[in-house]
Structure 1
Amino acid sequence: MKIKHHLPEHPSFVTQTDGDGSASPGRAAHPLRRAGDRPPPRATVSLVVPARNEARNIPWVFEQIPDCVDEVILVDGDSVDSTVHMATRCLPTVRHVEQSGPGKGNALRTGFLSATGDYIVMIDADGSMLPAEIPHYLHFLDHGFDFVKGSRFIAGGGSLDITPIRRLGNLVLLAAVNHLYDAKLTDLCYGFCAFRRDFLDDLDLHSSGFEIETEMIAHALRSGLRIAEVPSLELPRRSGHSHLHAISDGRRVLRTLLSERPGARSAAPARRSPA
């Protein structure tokens, strides 16, 4: 049985006029916008993808990038394979930049400074994160949040890759950040995030390694940014070996949490986000 959909009989529902003058269904009018006014321009989106020897994974990742992304920045970490060539072949418009120093932190900071979009999204190049989830992150930025992070541990999220030792380490570090920063986060060590580029200075990033993801969250909390968590599914790396070292990187994350906690050192006054 087919179900017919009818347009709601509501005064806020308007019709848009095609070029020939005929009417076609349109979106609901904003209550403060007059008929005929143009909607505000859509925020532009930059996607930063740090990569080192990810030539076999880049095609799958780039094929999944949604149309809402306006700019893709590949930050290459001295790859010895065809990472850069594969990226430009899959997406001729990709912007390729060389990172300023070793480590994922340096790669991300290089990419952030090169981004021109209103929103910046960061994603790994190994195929463990779904680019199709990006619109969910943008939805929260569009609706007043300043920083959006993925969570594998809320309803709708999950992980097909996390090991028992990584899960245990995440729980310990998560408890630490929630205690030190008076927060209620559900995931910490996951690098699928998006934020308003206007707040890059507030994030005040200096880390060079994997701990940069924790530094971002710590500084966002300390600066009073409005943070949202969205469910995300972590997939297994599609090819190759991870550059993550659970024990040593976990220690660096913990040191970051302790050194960046409120009151641990003098910090510039936080700038509140616009209402």
Structure 2
Amino acid sequence: MLRAGRAAHAVGRSAAGGLPGPRRPRFAGQRPRLPGGAPEPGRDLSFPHCCGKRSGGRCDRPGRTSVRTGGFRPRAPDPRAHGPWTCRVHGSLRPRATRFRSGPQEQLGIALRTPVPVGAVGRSSSQGGHLVSRGLPAERVTVLIAARNERATLPALVTRLRECLPGPPEILVVDDASTDGTADAASRVGARVLSLPRHQGKGGALRQGFAAAAGDFVLTLDADGQDAPEDLVRLLERAREGADLVIGSRFLGRFEPGAISRLNHLGTLFFNRLVGVLYGVAVTDSQAGVRCFRRDLLERMVLQATEYEIETEMLLEAIRLSARIAEVPVRRMPRSAGSSSFSRVRHGLRILSVILRKRLP
């Protein structure tokens, strides 16, 4: 009976002089059909918005089907077929930028060479620091530690780094001509060691380490054990969200009792303010040793510092290069062994000299 009704409707249209009668509405995502209800030739039925590429056809953008389809007239451009979306089975839609992301690593955006826009929410991955994605290269992580006579604190620090960072990161220790066996202690716990034949200072050791690091992300950490390795995870996540330089700010976090002297605290606040006034960038910790860099930013920096002023110089170079700078809170703990070689007067004057020299034309 239903077929008879359809036949009568077709006869009625012919009798009316070929005028178009009521047509069944076309819904978005509906497969085009040829007369007789057969699917259109040359179309991949599992991808209803596809242009025929999966069947070997050539796409006639915009809005056209495969040249093999024959008989099916072009329709208006469909933004889901050629716009910022990609099609999946059963016609569901998903942003093209995330079509390969299925695991916890991919949800971070860490498996793609193109960074996720700043502000995207990241989550830690338990699958590894080598960022794996189908058909895409993995991104590597290097933790760079400049050390001089830190045999007492370095082994425990390297062990904690391996426990808290996802995957097997490269831990690179630059031994700045230590005399207490720092290089041997680092090697025994599995770190990669670069031994300098003569003392070059913290700045010189970091510059040598940057040149030798193999990671796409390079994290820096002091060897004295005053920084928590667990905080590096937040820096790495923020860098994967799009920041070029992430600073671990002790002032956004907290200082444990005895972690910093009052004079050093006031001196850092002064340098923070001076950088803000002269360079127009408000940072809360310009002297932080905990940082995360993107490899492409490091390759563009021009670094010359040899001592503790290296932290200030790296920040000013990032400002000069218009890098995306972010800060995350970190903890600062008192030193458990050894003593610091930082001199308030000598190194303070070197930091001031870098700030003023970089500002001059």
In the superposition, the TM-score normalised over structure 1's length comes to 0.79
Quote the residue 2:177 is aligned against.
78
Between the two proteins, what is the percent identity of the paired residues?
35
Quote the residue 1:16 is aligned against.
none
Q: What is the identity, as a one-letter code, of the residue corresponding to 2:261? A: T
Deviations 1:232-252 (A, max 9, x none): 111112201101111211111
Q: What is the identity, as a one-letter code, of the residue corresponding to 2:158? A: F
Q: 1:239 to 1:125 in 2, by over 3 A?
A: same
SS at match of 1:152: strand
Say whether residues 1:47 and 2:111 are aligned partners.
no
Q: Superposition pairs for residues 5-84 of structure 1, below 5 Å?
A: 31-32=95-96, 33=99, 38=134, 40-65=136-161, 66-68=165-167, 70-84=169-183
Q: Is the deviation greater in 106-115 or in 179-188?
A: 179-188
Q: What is the identity, as a one-letter code, of the residue corresponding to 2:227? A: M
Q: What is the identity, as a one-letter code, of the residue corresponding to 1:64? A: R
Q: Superposition pairs for residues 255-266 of structure 1, below 5 Å?
A: 255-261=353-359, 264-265=360-361
Q: What is the identity, as a one-letter code, of the residue corresponding to 1:87? A: A
Q: 1:167 deviation in Å?
A: 0.9
Q: 1:252 to 1:47 in 2, by over 3 A?
A: same
Q: 1:40 to 1:143 in 2, by over 3 A?
A: farther
Q: 1:130 deviation in Å?
A: 1.2
Q: How many aligned residue pairs are there?
A: 233
Quote the residue 1:195 is aligned against.
293
Deviations 1:21-48 (A, max 9, x none): xxxxxxxx97321698838554211111
Q: Superposition pairs for residues 189-268 of structure 1, below 5 Å?
A: 189-261=287-359, 264-265=360-361
Q: What is the identity, as a one-letter code, of the residue corresponding to 1:114? A: A
In the superposition, the TM-score normalised over structure 2's length comes to 0.61
Kept in 2: contact 1:137–1:230 (CA 8 A): yes
Q: 1:100 to 1:109 in 2, by over 3 A?
A: farther
Kept in 2: contact 1:174–1:188 (CA 8 A): yes
Q: 1:144 to 1:80 in 2, by over 3 A?
A: same
Quote the residue 2:225 is aligned against.
127
Match of 1:143 among 241, 245, 249: 241
Structure 1 runs (4+) deviating above 4 angstroms are: 34-37, 39-42
Q: 1:128 deviation in Å?
A: 0.8
Comparing both chains, which one has the higher relative contact order based on Cα–Cα distances under 8 Å and sequence gaps of 6 or more? 1
Kept in 2: contact 1:100–1:107 (CA 8 A): no
d(CA) in 2 for partners of 1:69 and 1:194? 17
Gap runs ≥5 in structure 1:
1-28, 266-275
Q: What is the identity, as a one-letter code, of the residue corresponding to 2:264? A: R
Q: Superposition pairs for residues 145-184 of structure 1, below 5 Å?
A: 145-154=243-252, 156-160=253-257, 161-184=259-282
SS at match of 2:263: helix
Kept in 2: contact 1:75–1:99 (CA 8 A): no
**Higher CA-based Rg:** 2
SS at match of 1:123: strand
Deviations 1:150-202 (A, max 9, x none): 11111x44354111101111111111000011011111112111101111133
Gap runs ≥5 in structure 2:
1-92, 103-132
